[in-house]
Structure 1
Amino acid sequence: MAGTNGTGAQAGDEIPPGKRMNMEQHMLDKGAQMLQSLKPIKQMSQHACTFALYSHDTTRQIETHHYITRLNQDFLQCAVYDTDDCTGHLIGVEYIVSDRIFETLLPDEQKLWHSHAYEVKSGLWANPRVPEMVARPELENIAKTYGKFWCTWQTDRGDKLPMGPPALMMSPQGVGIGIVDPVLVQKRDEKYNISSDALKTARVEIAEPEWLNPQADYWKQHKDKGFCIDVETTEMKTRAPFP
Protein backbone atom coordinates (compact mmCIF):
# COMPACT_ATOMS: atom_id res chain seq x y z
CA MET A 1 0.00 0.00 0.00
CA ALA A 2 1.41 3.39 -0.94
CA GLY A 3 2.35 5.85 1.80
CA THR A 4 0.91 9.32 2.18
CA ASN A 5 3.79 11.33 3.73
CA GLY A 6 1.27 12.81 6.14
CA THR A 7 -0.41 14.94 3.47
CA GLY A 8 -3.31 12.68 2.54
CA ALA A 9 -1.89 12.22 -0.97
CA GLN A 10 -0.62 8.91 -2.24
CA ALA A 11 3.14 8.59 -2.76
CA GLY A 12 2.72 8.39 -6.55
CA ASP A 13 0.63 11.56 -6.80
CA GLU A 14 1.90 14.82 -8.24
CA ILE A 15 3.56 17.39 -6.02
CA PRO A 16 1.54 19.18 -4.80
CA PRO A 17 -1.72 17.22 -4.98
CA GLY A 18 -4.62 19.03 -6.65
CA LYS A 19 -6.69 19.44 -9.78
CA ARG A 20 -5.19 20.81 -12.99
CA MET A 21 -5.84 24.47 -13.70
CA ASN A 22 -8.87 25.17 -15.87
CA MET A 23 -9.18 27.66 -18.72
CA GLU A 24 -10.78 30.32 -16.51
CA GLN A 25 -7.86 30.22 -14.11
CA HIS A 26 -5.34 30.45 -16.95
CA MET A 27 -7.18 33.49 -18.33
CA LEU A 28 -7.26 35.13 -14.92
CA ASP A 29 -3.50 34.66 -14.51
CA LYS A 30 -2.79 36.05 -17.99
CA GLY A 31 -5.01 39.04 -17.36
CA ALA A 32 -3.43 39.74 -14.01
CA GLN A 33 0.04 39.61 -15.57
CA MET A 34 -0.95 42.36 -17.99
CA LEU A 35 -2.66 44.55 -15.38
CA GLN A 36 -0.43 44.18 -12.33
CA SER A 37 3.12 45.37 -11.91
CA LEU A 38 4.60 42.37 -10.04
CA LYS A 39 7.48 44.71 -9.17
CA PRO A 40 9.20 42.59 -6.48
CA ILE A 41 9.38 39.56 -8.77
CA LYS A 42 10.72 41.57 -11.69
CA GLN A 43 13.66 42.64 -9.53
CA MET A 44 15.01 39.08 -9.56
CA SER A 45 18.04 39.50 -11.76
CA GLN A 46 20.18 36.38 -11.25
CA HIS A 47 19.88 32.62 -11.15
CA ALA A 48 22.50 30.69 -9.19
CA CYS A 49 22.64 26.93 -8.82
CA THR A 50 24.43 25.43 -5.83
CA PHE A 51 23.93 22.85 -3.06
CA ALA A 52 22.81 22.82 0.57
CA LEU A 53 22.77 20.45 3.53
CA TYR A 54 20.19 20.20 6.30
CA SER A 55 21.62 21.47 9.59
CA HIS A 56 19.86 18.74 11.56
CA ASP A 57 20.59 15.92 9.07
CA THR A 58 23.68 16.33 6.91
CA THR A 59 23.06 12.99 5.21
CA ARG A 60 20.49 14.91 3.15
CA GLN A 61 22.00 17.16 0.49
CA ILE A 62 20.02 19.01 -2.17
CA GLU A 63 20.58 20.95 -5.36
CA THR A 64 19.17 24.46 -5.02
CA HIS A 65 18.24 27.20 -7.44
CA HIS A 66 18.43 30.74 -6.12
CA TYR A 67 16.57 33.56 -7.85
CA ILE A 68 18.29 36.64 -6.51
CA THR A 69 17.15 40.20 -5.87
CA ARG A 70 19.74 42.80 -4.92
CA LEU A 71 18.40 45.36 -2.42
CA ASN A 72 21.77 47.12 -2.05
CA GLN A 73 25.49 46.36 -2.16
CA ASP A 74 25.36 44.56 1.19
CA PHE A 75 22.08 42.64 1.04
CA LEU A 76 20.58 40.09 -1.34
CA GLN A 77 17.37 38.12 -0.97
CA CYS A 78 16.73 34.85 -2.76
CA ALA A 79 13.67 32.78 -3.58
CA VAL A 80 14.95 29.20 -3.55
CA TYR A 81 13.52 26.48 -5.82
CA ASP A 82 14.32 22.78 -6.18
CA THR A 83 14.72 23.09 -9.96
CA ASP A 84 14.79 25.76 -12.66
CA ASP A 85 12.09 23.98 -14.65
CA CYS A 86 8.66 25.63 -15.01
CA THR A 87 7.32 23.11 -12.49
CA GLY A 88 9.87 24.11 -9.84
CA HIS A 89 8.72 24.22 -6.23
CA LEU A 90 9.44 27.19 -3.98
CA ILE A 91 11.24 25.42 -1.15
CA GLY A 92 12.61 28.30 0.90
CA VAL A 93 14.29 31.65 1.17
CA GLU A 94 17.89 32.71 1.70
CA TYR A 95 19.15 36.08 2.84
CA ILE A 96 22.73 37.04 1.96
CA VAL A 97 24.71 39.79 3.68
CA SER A 98 28.20 41.19 3.21
CA ASP A 99 30.90 40.44 5.77
CA ARG A 100 30.57 44.04 6.94
CA ILE A 101 26.91 43.52 7.85
CA PHE A 102 27.55 40.07 9.29
CA GLU A 103 30.04 41.47 11.80
CA THR A 104 27.29 43.73 13.23
CA LEU A 105 25.06 40.75 14.14
CA LEU A 106 24.86 39.39 17.67
CA PRO A 107 26.78 36.13 18.24
CA ASP A 108 23.60 34.08 18.74
CA GLU A 109 22.31 35.34 15.39
CA GLN A 110 25.61 34.68 13.62
CA LYS A 111 25.31 30.98 14.54
CA LEU A 112 22.43 30.64 12.08
CA TRP A 113 24.47 31.83 9.09
CA HIS A 114 26.94 30.10 6.77
CA SER A 115 29.88 31.29 4.69
CA HIS A 116 30.00 31.23 0.88
CA ALA A 117 33.74 31.32 0.19
CA TYR A 118 34.11 27.57 -0.31
CA GLU A 119 31.00 27.31 -2.51
CA VAL A 120 32.40 29.91 -4.88
CA LYS A 121 36.05 28.84 -4.88
CA SER A 122 35.22 25.14 -5.35
CA GLY A 123 32.99 25.75 -8.38
CA LEU A 124 29.86 24.50 -6.63
CA TRP A 125 28.20 27.92 -6.96
CA ALA A 126 27.40 28.32 -10.64
CA ASN A 127 25.44 30.80 -12.73
CA PRO A 128 23.90 28.62 -15.46
CA ARG A 129 24.40 29.88 -19.02
CA VAL A 130 26.27 32.99 -17.86
CA PRO A 131 29.90 33.20 -19.10
CA GLU A 132 32.38 32.99 -16.24
CA MET A 133 33.96 36.31 -17.21
CA VAL A 134 30.59 38.03 -16.91
CA ALA A 135 29.85 36.43 -13.55
CA ARG A 136 33.33 37.03 -12.14
CA PRO A 137 32.74 40.40 -10.37
CA GLU A 138 29.65 39.04 -8.62
CA LEU A 139 31.46 35.83 -7.64
CA GLU A 140 34.19 37.91 -6.02
CA ASN A 141 31.52 39.63 -3.95
CA ILE A 142 29.61 36.45 -3.05
CA ALA A 143 32.82 34.81 -1.80
CA LYS A 144 32.90 37.36 1.02
CA THR A 145 29.26 36.99 2.07
CA TYR A 146 27.25 34.99 4.59
CA GLY A 147 23.81 33.45 4.09
CA LYS A 148 20.86 32.31 6.20
CA PHE A 149 18.72 29.77 4.37
CA TRP A 150 15.41 28.43 5.69
CA CYS A 151 13.91 25.46 3.83
CA THR A 152 10.11 25.47 4.13
CA TRP A 153 9.27 22.56 1.82
CA GLN A 154 11.33 19.37 2.02
CA THR A 155 10.54 17.95 -1.40
CA ASP A 156 13.68 15.80 -1.26
CA ARG A 157 12.05 13.53 1.32
CA GLY A 158 8.91 13.25 -0.79
CA ASP A 159 6.69 15.79 0.98
CA LYS A 160 3.73 16.53 -1.28
CA LEU A 161 3.00 19.75 0.61
CA PRO A 162 5.09 22.03 2.83
CA MET A 163 5.07 20.14 6.12
CA GLY A 164 6.18 21.05 9.63
CA PRO A 165 8.48 23.86 10.74
CA PRO A 166 11.20 25.32 8.51
CA ALA A 167 14.64 23.69 8.50
CA LEU A 168 17.89 25.63 8.73
CA MET A 169 20.31 24.80 5.92
CA MET A 170 24.12 24.75 5.81
CA SER A 171 26.51 25.51 2.99
CA PRO A 172 28.90 22.97 1.48
CA GLN A 173 32.42 22.93 2.88
CA GLY A 174 35.62 21.17 1.92
CA VAL A 175 35.88 19.03 5.05
CA GLY A 176 34.00 16.24 6.79
CA ILE A 177 30.23 16.25 6.62
CA GLY A 178 30.27 19.42 4.53
CA ILE A 179 31.54 17.69 1.39
CA VAL A 180 28.90 17.37 -1.33
CA ASP A 181 28.24 13.97 -2.89
CA PRO A 182 30.22 13.90 -6.19
CA VAL A 183 27.31 12.13 -7.91
CA LEU A 184 25.03 15.06 -7.09
CA VAL A 185 27.59 17.51 -8.49
CA GLN A 186 28.12 15.44 -11.66
CA LYS A 187 24.38 15.35 -12.32
CA ARG A 188 24.18 19.14 -12.05
CA ASP A 189 27.26 19.66 -14.22
CA GLU A 190 25.92 17.41 -16.96
CA LYS A 191 22.60 19.25 -16.99
CA TYR A 192 24.26 22.61 -17.65
CA ASN A 193 27.28 21.33 -19.58
CA ILE A 194 29.73 22.78 -17.07
CA SER A 195 32.64 21.40 -15.06
CA SER A 196 32.88 22.26 -11.38
CA ASP A 197 36.55 21.30 -11.49
CA ALA A 198 37.17 23.72 -14.37
CA LEU A 199 35.32 26.47 -12.51
CA LYS A 200 37.44 25.75 -9.44
CA THR A 201 40.62 26.15 -11.48
CA ALA A 202 39.38 29.36 -13.07
CA ARG A 203 38.57 30.83 -9.65
CA VAL A 204 41.91 30.20 -7.97
CA GLU A 205 42.71 33.90 -7.92
CA ILE A 206 39.38 34.98 -6.42
CA ALA A 207 40.29 36.46 -3.06
CA GLU A 208 38.96 34.70 0.01
CA PRO A 209 37.92 36.70 3.06
CA GLU A 210 40.87 37.68 5.22
CA TRP A 211 38.97 36.19 8.14
CA LEU A 212 35.93 33.92 8.31
CA ASN A 213 33.99 34.53 11.49
CA PRO A 214 33.96 31.21 13.42
CA GLN A 215 30.41 31.88 14.61
CA ALA A 216 29.27 31.05 11.07
CA ASP A 217 29.32 27.42 9.89
CA TYR A 218 28.63 26.60 13.54
CA TRP A 219 29.05 22.84 13.12
CA LYS A 220 32.71 23.16 12.13
CA GLN A 221 33.67 24.65 15.49
CA HIS A 222 31.26 22.70 17.71
CA LYS A 223 31.77 18.99 17.02
CA ASP A 224 29.17 18.68 14.28
CA LYS A 225 26.36 20.31 16.26
CA GLY A 226 23.48 21.72 14.19
CA PHE A 227 20.15 23.43 14.75
CA CYS A 228 16.54 22.36 14.37
CA ILE A 229 13.18 23.98 15.11
CA ASP A 230 10.44 22.46 17.27
CA VAL A 231 6.88 23.78 17.37
CA GLU A 232 5.38 24.33 20.82
CA THR A 233 2.18 25.78 22.21
CA THR A 234 2.57 29.21 23.75
CA GLU A 235 0.43 31.96 25.22
CA MET A 236 -0.68 34.45 22.59
CA LYS A 237 -0.03 38.14 22.98
CA THR A 238 -3.40 39.84 22.81
CA ARG A 239 -4.92 43.31 22.87
CA ALA A 240 -8.33 44.68 23.67
CA PRO A 241 -10.77 44.19 20.76
CA PHE A 242 -11.60 47.14 18.53
CA PRO A 243 -14.87 48.85 19.51
Structure 2
Amino acid sequence: MASSDEKPSGVLPYGAGAQPPGDPMTVQQHMVDKGAQMVQSLKPIKQMQQHVCTFAMYSHDMSRQIETHHYVHRLTQDFLQCAVYDSDDARAHLIGVEYIVSDRIFEDLSPEEQKLWHSHAYEIKSGLWINPEVPELMQKPELQNLTKTYGKFWCTWQVDRGDPLPLGAPALMVSPNLGMVKREVVTKRDNKYGIESEKLKQSRMEIAEPEWINPRADYWKQAGKGFAIDIEETEMKKIAPFP
Protein backbone atom coordinates (compact mmCIF):
# COMPACT_ATOMS: atom_id res chain seq x y z
CA MET A 1 0.00 0.00 0.00
CA ALA A 2 1.42 3.38 -0.98
CA SER A 3 1.94 6.08 1.63
CA SER A 4 -0.72 8.32 0.10
CA ASP A 5 -3.28 5.51 0.48
CA GLU A 6 -2.49 4.55 4.07
CA LYS A 7 -4.88 5.50 6.85
CA PRO A 8 -2.68 7.35 9.37
CA SER A 9 -2.46 5.73 12.78
CA GLY A 10 -2.38 7.37 16.17
CA VAL A 11 -4.34 10.49 15.18
CA LEU A 12 -6.91 12.24 17.31
CA PRO A 13 -10.50 11.04 16.72
CA TYR A 14 -11.87 14.14 15.05
CA GLY A 15 -14.55 13.56 12.43
CA ALA A 16 -14.36 14.47 8.75
CA GLY A 17 -14.79 18.19 8.27
CA ALA A 18 -13.99 19.00 11.90
CA GLN A 19 -11.67 21.86 12.69
CA PRO A 20 -8.08 20.86 13.50
CA PRO A 21 -7.13 20.50 17.16
CA GLY A 22 -6.22 23.66 19.06
CA ASP A 23 -7.58 26.37 21.29
CA PRO A 24 -9.73 29.19 19.85
CA MET A 25 -7.86 32.27 18.68
CA THR A 26 -7.31 34.97 21.28
CA VAL A 27 -8.32 38.63 20.98
CA GLN A 28 -4.65 39.53 20.66
CA GLN A 29 -4.19 37.15 17.73
CA HIS A 30 -7.23 38.62 15.98
CA MET A 31 -5.80 42.11 16.51
CA VAL A 32 -2.44 41.10 15.05
CA ASP A 33 -4.15 39.63 11.98
CA LYS A 34 -6.30 42.73 11.47
CA GLY A 35 -3.32 45.02 11.87
CA ALA A 36 -1.23 43.03 9.41
CA GLN A 37 -4.09 43.04 6.92
CA MET A 38 -4.17 46.85 7.04
CA VAL A 39 -0.47 47.35 6.28
CA GLN A 40 0.51 44.32 4.17
CA SER A 41 -0.26 44.02 0.46
CA LEU A 42 -1.18 40.30 0.34
CA LYS A 43 -0.72 40.66 -3.42
CA PRO A 44 -0.79 36.95 -4.39
CA ILE A 45 -4.03 36.35 -2.48
CA LYS A 46 -5.74 39.35 -4.06
CA GLN A 47 -5.04 37.95 -7.53
CA MET A 48 -7.50 35.12 -6.94
CA GLN A 49 -10.39 36.39 -9.03
CA GLN A 50 -12.60 33.32 -9.56
CA HIS A 51 -14.28 30.65 -7.45
CA VAL A 52 -14.90 27.32 -9.17
CA CYS A 53 -16.83 24.48 -7.55
CA THR A 54 -16.44 20.99 -8.99
CA PHE A 55 -15.60 17.43 -7.94
CA ALA A 56 -12.48 15.28 -7.81
CA MET A 57 -11.59 11.64 -7.24
CA TYR A 58 -8.47 10.07 -5.80
CA SER A 59 -6.26 8.55 -8.47
CA HIS A 60 -5.65 5.47 -6.33
CA ASP A 61 -9.29 5.09 -5.16
CA MET A 62 -12.05 6.48 -7.37
CA SER A 63 -14.73 5.44 -4.91
CA ARG A 64 -13.62 8.44 -2.85
CA GLN A 65 -15.22 11.50 -4.43
CA ILE A 66 -15.06 14.98 -2.95
CA GLU A 67 -16.55 18.39 -3.67
CA THR A 68 -13.77 20.90 -4.25
CA HIS A 69 -13.59 24.69 -4.29
CA HIS A 70 -10.86 26.22 -6.44
CA TYR A 71 -9.82 29.85 -5.99
CA VAL A 72 -8.20 30.77 -9.28
CA HIS A 73 -5.26 33.04 -10.01
CA ARG A 74 -4.57 33.47 -13.71
CA LEU A 75 -0.89 34.22 -14.43
CA THR A 76 -1.15 34.13 -18.23
CA GLN A 77 -3.71 33.08 -20.84
CA ASP A 78 -2.11 29.63 -20.74
CA PHE A 79 -1.46 29.08 -17.03
CA LEU A 80 -3.67 29.21 -13.93
CA GLN A 81 -2.94 28.25 -10.34
CA CYS A 82 -5.60 27.38 -7.79
CA ALA A 83 -5.76 27.11 -4.02
CA VAL A 84 -8.21 24.27 -3.36
CA TYR A 85 -10.52 24.15 -0.33
CA ASP A 86 -13.13 21.64 0.84
CA SER A 87 -15.86 24.30 1.00
CA ASP A 88 -16.49 28.01 0.50
CA ASP A 89 -17.03 28.55 4.22
CA ALA A 90 -14.87 31.06 6.11
CA ARG A 91 -13.35 28.16 8.09
CA ALA A 92 -12.76 25.91 5.10
CA HIS A 93 -9.75 23.60 4.98
CA LEU A 94 -7.01 24.30 2.44
CA ILE A 95 -6.72 20.77 1.01
CA GLY A 96 -4.43 21.15 -1.99
CA VAL A 97 -3.33 22.95 -5.10
CA GLU A 98 -4.19 22.59 -8.77
CA TYR A 99 -2.26 23.88 -11.76
CA ILE A 100 -4.06 24.35 -15.07
CA VAL A 101 -2.35 24.69 -18.46
CA SER A 102 -3.53 25.23 -22.00
CA ASP A 103 -3.37 22.47 -24.58
CA ARG A 104 -0.42 24.28 -26.15
CA ILE A 105 1.66 23.99 -22.98
CA PHE A 106 0.47 20.45 -22.28
CA GLU A 107 1.70 19.19 -25.64
CA ASP A 108 5.23 20.36 -24.74
CA LEU A 109 5.34 18.27 -21.56
CA SER A 110 7.14 14.93 -21.49
CA PRO A 111 5.01 11.79 -21.95
CA GLU A 112 5.68 10.73 -18.34
CA GLU A 113 4.65 14.13 -17.01
CA GLN A 114 1.47 14.15 -19.09
CA LYS A 115 0.24 11.04 -17.28
CA LEU A 116 -0.17 13.08 -14.08
CA TRP A 117 -2.64 15.51 -15.67
CA HIS A 118 -6.36 15.29 -16.40
CA SER A 119 -8.52 16.89 -19.08
CA HIS A 120 -11.38 19.27 -18.29
CA ALA A 121 -13.72 18.92 -21.29
CA TYR A 122 -16.15 16.39 -19.78
CA GLU A 123 -16.10 18.03 -16.35
CA ILE A 124 -17.21 21.32 -17.90
CA LYS A 125 -19.65 20.08 -20.54
CA SER A 126 -21.41 17.79 -18.05
CA GLY A 127 -22.26 20.71 -15.75
CA LEU A 128 -20.07 19.51 -12.89
CA TRP A 129 -17.78 22.56 -13.13
CA ILE A 130 -19.55 25.75 -12.03
CA ASN A 131 -18.70 29.31 -11.02
CA PRO A 132 -21.14 29.81 -8.12
CA GLU A 133 -23.46 32.82 -8.46
CA VAL A 134 -21.96 33.83 -11.84
CA PRO A 135 -24.59 33.85 -14.64
CA GLU A 136 -24.07 31.01 -17.12
CA LEU A 137 -24.12 33.42 -20.06
CA MET A 138 -21.17 35.30 -18.56
CA GLN A 139 -19.22 32.06 -18.04
CA LYS A 140 -19.64 30.64 -21.55
CA PRO A 141 -16.62 32.31 -23.29
CA GLU A 142 -14.32 31.26 -20.46
CA LEU A 143 -15.71 27.72 -20.42
CA GLN A 144 -15.07 27.34 -24.14
CA ASN A 145 -11.38 27.98 -23.50
CA LEU A 146 -11.20 25.85 -20.37
CA THR A 147 -12.49 22.74 -22.16
CA LYS A 148 -9.12 22.67 -23.92
CA THR A 149 -7.08 22.78 -20.71
CA TYR A 150 -5.44 20.17 -18.49
CA GLY A 151 -5.04 20.16 -14.71
CA LYS A 152 -2.71 18.61 -12.15
CA PHE A 153 -4.25 18.52 -8.66
CA TRP A 154 -2.40 17.39 -5.55
CA CYS A 155 -4.48 16.85 -2.40
CA THR A 156 -2.46 17.47 0.76
CA TRP A 157 -5.23 17.05 3.36
CA GLN A 158 -7.58 14.08 3.10
CA VAL A 159 -10.44 15.49 5.17
CA ASP A 160 -12.91 13.03 3.65
CA ARG A 161 -11.39 10.17 5.63
CA GLY A 162 -11.45 12.20 8.85
CA ASP A 163 -7.84 13.40 9.03
CA PRO A 164 -7.78 16.23 11.61
CA LEU A 165 -4.49 17.52 10.16
CA PRO A 166 -2.70 17.31 6.78
CA LEU A 167 -1.15 13.87 7.26
CA GLY A 168 1.04 11.61 5.17
CA ALA A 169 1.95 11.95 1.51
CA PRO A 170 0.00 14.08 -0.97
CA ALA A 171 -2.45 12.28 -3.24
CA LEU A 172 -2.91 12.84 -6.97
CA MET A 173 -6.50 13.64 -7.91
CA VAL A 174 -8.32 13.06 -11.20
CA SER A 175 -11.23 14.73 -12.93
CA PRO A 176 -14.61 12.96 -12.97
CA ASN A 177 -15.56 11.43 -16.29
CA LEU A 178 -18.34 9.44 -17.91
CA GLY A 179 -20.93 10.11 -15.20
CA MET A 180 -18.78 8.67 -12.43
CA VAL A 181 -19.72 11.16 -9.70
CA LYS A 182 -22.32 9.81 -7.28
CA ARG A 183 -25.73 11.37 -7.88
CA GLU A 184 -26.25 12.27 -4.21
CA VAL A 185 -22.96 14.19 -4.12
CA VAL A 186 -23.95 16.31 -7.12
CA THR A 187 -27.50 16.85 -5.82
CA LYS A 188 -26.20 18.14 -2.49
CA ARG A 189 -23.98 20.67 -4.28
CA ASP A 190 -26.73 21.71 -6.70
CA ASN A 191 -29.23 22.29 -3.90
CA LYS A 192 -26.74 24.49 -2.07
CA TYR A 193 -26.32 26.83 -5.05
CA GLY A 194 -29.82 26.52 -6.48
CA ILE A 195 -28.74 25.01 -9.80
CA GLU A 196 -29.40 21.86 -11.82
CA SER A 197 -26.35 20.22 -13.33
CA GLU A 198 -28.49 18.40 -15.89
CA LYS A 199 -29.85 21.70 -17.22
CA LEU A 200 -26.33 23.11 -17.36
CA LYS A 201 -25.29 20.04 -19.32
CA GLN A 202 -28.00 20.71 -21.88
CA SER A 203 -27.10 24.39 -22.18
CA ARG A 204 -23.42 23.53 -22.67
CA MET A 205 -23.99 21.16 -25.56
CA GLU A 206 -23.21 24.09 -27.86
CA ILE A 207 -19.70 24.36 -26.40
CA ALA A 208 -17.46 22.72 -28.97
CA GLU A 209 -15.56 19.58 -28.03
CA PRO A 210 -11.78 20.06 -28.25
CA GLU A 211 -10.45 18.83 -31.58
CA TRP A 212 -7.86 16.80 -29.70
CA ILE A 213 -7.65 15.50 -26.12
CA ASN A 214 -4.24 13.97 -25.62
CA PRO A 215 -4.73 10.30 -24.61
CA ARG A 216 -1.79 10.50 -22.19
CA ALA A 217 -3.96 12.67 -19.97
CA ASP A 218 -6.59 10.84 -17.90
CA TYR A 219 -4.08 8.00 -17.79
CA TRP A 220 -6.41 5.77 -15.77
CA LYS A 221 -8.77 5.54 -18.76
CA GLN A 222 -6.15 3.83 -20.90
CA ALA A 223 -4.19 1.90 -18.27
CA GLY A 224 -6.83 1.20 -15.63
CA LYS A 225 -4.27 2.31 -13.04
CA GLY A 226 -3.76 5.38 -10.89
CA PHE A 227 -0.78 6.88 -9.11
CA ALA A 228 0.08 6.94 -5.41
CA ILE A 229 3.12 8.34 -3.62
CA ASP A 230 5.48 6.47 -1.31
CA ILE A 231 7.65 8.31 1.21
CA GLU A 232 11.16 6.91 1.33
CA GLU A 233 14.09 7.74 3.55
CA THR A 234 17.05 8.91 1.49
CA GLU A 235 20.58 10.19 1.94
CA MET A 236 20.79 13.96 2.20
CA LYS A 237 23.01 15.98 -0.07
CA LYS A 238 25.51 17.55 2.27
CA ILE A 239 26.08 21.29 2.35
CA ALA A 240 29.66 22.18 1.52
CA PRO A 241 31.43 23.86 4.47
CA PHE A 242 31.76 27.62 4.20
CA PRO A 243 35.31 28.88 3.67
Q: Which amino acid aligns with 2:212?
A: W
By how many angstroms is 1:5 displaced?
5.8
Provide the residue aligned with 1:167 in structure 2.
Answer: 171
In the other structure, the counterpart of 1:56 is: 60
Tell me which residue corresponds to 2:240: 240
Q: 1:115-159, CA deviations, whole angstroms, 9 ceiling, x for partnerless residues?
A: 000000000000000000111111111111000000000000000
Q: Does 1:96 align with 2:96?
A: no
- The answer to whether the 8 Å contact 1:53/1:170 transfers is yes
Aligned to 1:120, the other structure's residue is in SS state helix
2:40 corresponds to 1:36: yes
Q: SS of the counterpart of 1:174?
A: coil
For residues 46-125 of structure 1, what are the structure 2 equivalents within 5 Å?
Answer: 46-125=50-129
1:239 Cα deviation (Å)?
2.4
Contact 2:172/2:227 (8 A) holds in 1: yes
Q: 1: distance between equivalents of 2:242 and 2:164?
A: 40
Residue matched to 1:226:
226
Cα separation, 2, equivalents of 1:21 and 1:120: 39
TM-score when scaled to structure 1?
0.94
Deviation string 1:46-96 (CA, Å, 9 cap, x unpaired) is 000000000001110000000000000000000000000001000000000
Tell me the CA shift for residue 27 of structure 1.
0.1
Read off the aligned partner of 2:167 and give its amino acid letter. Answer: M
% identical aligned pairs: 69
* In 2, Cα distance between equivalents of 1:105 and 1:202: 33
Q: Which residue does the alignment assign to 1:207? A: 208
Distance 1:99 1:242 in 2: 46
Displacement of 1:8 after TM fit? 4.0
The amino acid of 2:239's aligned partner reads: R
Higher relative contact order (CA 8 A, sep 6+): 2
Query: Matched residues in 2 for 1:239 and 1:11: separation?
Result: 41
Q: 1:215 to 1:205 in 2, by over 3 A?
A: same
**Aligned residues of 1:218 and 1:226 also touching (Cα < 8 A):** yes
Runs of 4+ in 1 over 2 A off after TM superposition: 4-15
TM-score (norm 2): 0.94
Greater displacement, 199-208 / 20-29: 199-208
Q: How many Å apart are 1:7 and its aligned residue?
A: 5.7
Mapped partners of 2:209, 2:50: distance in 1: 22
1:196 paired residue number? 197
Q: 2:172 & 2:241 partners in 1: Cα distance?
A: 36
Q: Give deviations 1:147-204, integer Å, cap 9, x for gaps.
A: 00000000000000000010000000016xxx10010000000000001011101100
Count of aligned residue pairs for this structure pair: 236
Q: 2:20 aligns with which of 16, 25, 28?
A: 16
* Structure 1 match to 2:158: 154
When the two chains are superposed, the root-mean-square deviation of aligned CA atoms in Å is 1.4
Which 5+ residue runs of structure 1 have no aligned equivalent? none
Deviations 1:8-56 (A, max 9, x none): 4233594210010000000000000001000000000000000000000
| 8 A Cα contact 1:67 1:78, kept in partner | yes
> Structure 1 CA distance, aligned partners of 2:228 and 2:24?
35
Whole-Å separation in 2 of the counterparts to 1:158 and 1:73: 37
